[in-house]
Chain A
Amino acid sequence: MLRKLFKFHGGVKPPTNKAHSTTAPIASVPLPDRLVIPLHQSVGGHPRPLVQPGDQVFKGQRIGGADGNLSSAVHASTSGIVRDVLPAVMPHTSGLTTLSVVIEPDGEDRWGELDRINVRAATPDELRDYLRDAGVVGLGGAVFPSHLKLKPGKEGKLDTLVINGAECEPFITCDDMLMRERATDMLKGISAMRHMLQARDVLIGIEDNKPEALAAVRAAIAAAGEPGIEALAIPTRYPAGGAKQLIRVLTGIEVPHGRRSTDFGVQCFNVGTAYSIHDALEHGRPLISRVVTVAGNVDAPRNYDVLIGTPMDHVVRLAGARPDTDRYIMGGPMMGVRMPAFDVPVVKATNCILVGSPVLFPPPPPEMPCIRCGECAKACPADLAPFEMYWFSRARNFGKTQEYHLFDCIECGCCSFVCPSHIPLVDYFRFSKSEIWAREREKEAADTARERFEFKNLRQEREKQEKAEKLAAKAAATREKVAGDTATAPPGAAAAVTKPGGDDAKRALIEAAMEKARLQKAQVAPKNLDVTSPDVQAEMAAIDARRHAAREASSDPHPPAGQA
Chain B
Amino acid sequence: MINSPYIRKPASVQSVMLQVLLALVPGIAAYVWFFGAGILVQLAIASVAALAGEAAMLAIRGKPKALFLTDLSAIVTAWLIALTFPPIAPWWLTVTGTLLAVVIVKQLYGGLGQNPFNPAMAAFCLMIVAYPALMSQWPAAGQLDFKTQIELIFGGARHVDAITGATPLDALRTALRSAASPDSELHGLRAAQLMDGPAFGLLGGKGGEWVAFGYLLGGLWLIQRRIITWHIPAAFCGALFATAGLLWSLRPEGFASPLFHLASGGAMLGAFFILTDPVSGATTARGKLLFAAGAAVLTYVIRAFGAYPDGIAFATLLMNILVPIIDMKTQAPVFGHKKD
A contact residues vs B (CB 8 Å cutoff): 8-9, 12, 14-15, 93, 170, 244, 248, 254-257, 259, 329, 331, 333-338, 356, 361, 363-366, 368-375, 377, 381-385, 387-388, 404-405, 408, 413, 416-422, 424, 426-427, 430, 561-564
A372–B115 alpha-carbon span in the complex (Å): 11
Q: Is B181 an interface residue (CB 8 A)?
A: no
Contact with A along B307-340 (1 / 0, CB 8 A): 0000000000000000000010001111111100
The interface stretch among B77-85, B244-252, B277-285 is: B277-285
With A334-B5, A335-B5, A374-B278 known as contacts, the answer to whether A404 contacts B331 (CB < 8 A) is yes
A12, A248, A255, A333: the one contacting B4 at CB < 8 Å is: A333
A365–B111 alpha-carbon span in the complex (Å): 19
A417 and B278 within 8 A (CB): no
CB-CB contacts below 8 Å: B265-303 with A: 278-279, 281, 283-284
A-B contact count (CB 8 A): 142
Q: Is B3 an interface residue (CB 8 A)?
A: yes
Across the A-B interface, the 9 shortest Cβ-Cβ residue pairs = A256-B336, A369-B113, A413-B5, A361-B6, A562-B3, A420-B11, A254-B336, A382-B335, A373-B278
CB-CB contacts below 8 Å: B214-228 with A: none
Q: Which residues of the partner chain A approach B336 to less than 8 Å between Cβ atoms?
A: 244, 254-257, 259, 408
A168 to chain B, nearest CB (A): 13
A371 and B112 within 8 A (CB): yes
Q: Is B60 an interface residue (CB 8 A)?
A: no
The interface stretch among B12-20, B45-53, B136-144 is: B12-20
A381 to chain B, nearest CB (A): 7
Query: DSSP class of B's interface residues: helix, strand, loop or mixed?
Result: loop
Give 9 CB contacts A-B under 8 Å.
Answer: A15-B7, A333-B4, A336-B4, A356-B6, A368-B67, A372-B283, A408-B335, A417-B5, A417-B7
With A382-B335, A387-B283 known as contacts, the answer to whether A368 contacts B112 (CB < 8 A) is yes
B11 and A375 within 8 A (CB): yes
Q: Which residues of the partner chain B approach A388 to less than 8 Å between Cβ atoms?
A: 327, 331
| A-B contact sample (10 more), CB < 8 A, given A244-B336, A335-B5, A418-B11 | A335-B4, A368-B68, A370-B113, A372-B278, A381-B335, A382-B334, A385-B331, A422-B12, A430-B3, A562-B3
A254, A561, A563: the one contacting B338 at CB < 8 Å is: A254
Q: Which residues of the partner chain B approach A418 to less than 8 Å between Cβ atoms?
A: 8-9, 11
Q: Which residues of the partner chain A approach B114 to less than 8 Å between Cβ atoms?
A: 369
With A364-B2, A385-B284 known as contacts, the answer to whether A369 contacts B7 (CB < 8 A) is no
Q: Which residues of the partner chain B approach A256 to less than 8 Å between Cβ atoms?
A: 335-337
Of all chain B residues, the one with the shortest Cβ separation from A245 is: B335
Of all chain A residues, the one with the shortest Cβ separation from B11 is: A420
A93 and B3 within 8 A (CB): yes
A525 to chain B, nearest CB (A): 22
Of all chain B residues, the one with the shortest Cβ separation from A17 is: B7
B13 and A383 within 8 A (CB): no
With A369-B112, A562-B1 known as contacts, the answer to whether A422 contacts B8 (CB < 8 A) is yes
Q: Which residues of the partner chain B approach A333 to less than 8 Å between Cβ atoms?
A: 4-7
B16 and A365 within 8 A (CB): no
Q: Which residues of the partner chain A approach B170 to less than 8 Å between Cβ atoms?
A: none
Q: Is B156 an interface residue (CB 8 A)?
A: no
Q: Is B182 an interface residue (CB 8 A)?
A: no
B335 and A372 within 8 A (CB): no
Of all chain B residues, the one with the shortest Cβ separation from A93 is: B3
A426 and B337 within 8 A (CB): no
B contact residues vs A (CB 8 Å cutoff): 1-9, 11-13, 15-16, 64, 67-68, 71, 73, 110-114, 229, 278-279, 281, 283-284, 327, 331-338
Of all chain B residues, the one with the shortest Cβ separation from A373 is: B278
Q: Which residues of the partner chain B approach A12 to less than 8 Å between Cβ atoms?
A: 9
B283 and A334 within 8 A (CB): no
A170, A259, A369, A408: the one contacting B111 at CB < 8 Å is: A369
A424–B6 alpha-carbon span in the complex (Å): 10
A362 to chain B, nearest CB (A): 9
Q: Which residues of the partner chain B approach A419 to less than 8 Å between Cβ atoms?
A: 8, 11
B3, B8, B64: the one contacting A417 at CB < 8 Å is: B8
A334 and B335 within 8 A (CB): no
A8, A364, A383: the one contacting B8 at CB < 8 Å is: A364
Q: Which residues of the partner chain A approach B13 to less than 8 Å between Cβ atoms?
A: 368, 371, 420-421
A561–B2 alpha-carbon span in the complex (Å): 9
Q: Which residues of the partner chain A approach B111 to less than 8 Å between Cβ atoms?
A: 369
A256–B281 alpha-carbon span in the complex (Å): 30
A170, A329, A373, A383: the one contacting B16 at CB < 8 Å is: A373
A376–B189 alpha-carbon span in the complex (Å): 53
B4, B6, B278, B333: the one contacting A383 at CB < 8 Å is: B333
A430–B4 alpha-carbon span in the complex (Å): 11
A438 to chain B, nearest CB (A): 18
Q: Which residues of the partner chain B approach A562 to less than 8 Å between Cβ atoms?
A: 1-3
A408 and B334 within 8 A (CB): yes
B281 to chain A, nearest CB (A): 8
A370–B1 alpha-carbon span in the complex (Å): 21
A14–B111 alpha-carbon span in the complex (Å): 31
A382–B1 alpha-carbon span in the complex (Å): 26
Of all chain B residues, the one with the shortest Cβ separation from A367 is: B67
Q: Which residues of the partner chain B approach A9 to less than 8 Å between Cβ atoms?
A: 335
B145 to chain A, nearest CB (A): 40
Q: Which residues of the partner chain A approach B112 to less than 8 Å between Cβ atoms?
A: 368-369, 371
B45 to chain A, nearest CB (A): 25
A365 and B113 within 8 A (CB): no
Q: Which residues of the partner chain A approach B284 to less than 8 Å between Cβ atoms?
A: 377, 385
A8–B7 alpha-carbon span in the complex (Å): 22
Q: Which residues of the partner chain B approach A427 to less than 8 Å between Cβ atoms?
A: 3
Q: Which residues of the partner chain A approach B327 to less than 8 Å between Cβ atoms?
A: 388
A25 to chain B, nearest CB (A): 27
A379 to chain B, nearest CB (A): 9
Which of A364, A368, A416 has most chain B Cβ within 10 Å? A368
A56–B34 alpha-carbon span in the complex (Å): 92
Of all chain B residues, the one with the shortest Cβ separation from A13 is: B9
A374–B13 alpha-carbon span in the complex (Å): 12
Of all chain A residues, the one with the shortest Cβ separation from B284 is: A385
Q: Which residues of the partner chain B approach A15 to less than 8 Å between Cβ atoms?
A: 7
A426–B6 alpha-carbon span in the complex (Å): 12
Q: Which residues of the partner chain A approach B110 to less than 8 Å between Cβ atoms?
A: 369
A335–B336 alpha-carbon span in the complex (Å): 22
B263 to chain A, nearest CB (A): 29
Q: Which residues of the partner chain A approach B278 to less than 8 Å between Cβ atoms?
A: 371-374
Of all chain A residues, the one with the shortest Cβ separation from B328 is: A388
